[in-house]
Chains A and B, each alone.
Chain A
Amino acid sequence: KNEVEQSPQNLTAQEGEFITINCSYSVGISALHWLQQHPGGGIVSLFMLSSGKKKHGRLIATINIQEKHSSLHITASHPRDSAVYICATSGSARQLTFGSGTQLTVLP
Chain B
Amino acid sequence: DTEVTQTPKHLVMGMTNKKSLKCEQHMGHRAMYWYKQKAKKPPELMFVYSYEKLSINESVPSRFSPECPNSSLLNLHLHALQPEDSALYLCASSQWGFGNTIYFGEGSWLTVV
Task: Report which A residues bind B (CB closer than 8 A).
Answer: 30-31, 33, 35, 40-45, 48, 50, 86, 88, 90-92, 94-96, 98-101
Contacts and interface: CB of A to CB of B under 8 A. Distances in A.
Interface residues on B, range: 20 to 34
Contacts of A95: 33, 45, 48, 56
B106 A45 contact: no
Given A31-B98, A48-B101, A96-B102, A41 B48 contact: no
Contacts, number: 59
Contact of B42 (A90, A94, A98): A98
B61 interface: no
Contacts of B101: 33, 45, 48
A94 B33 CA distance: 11
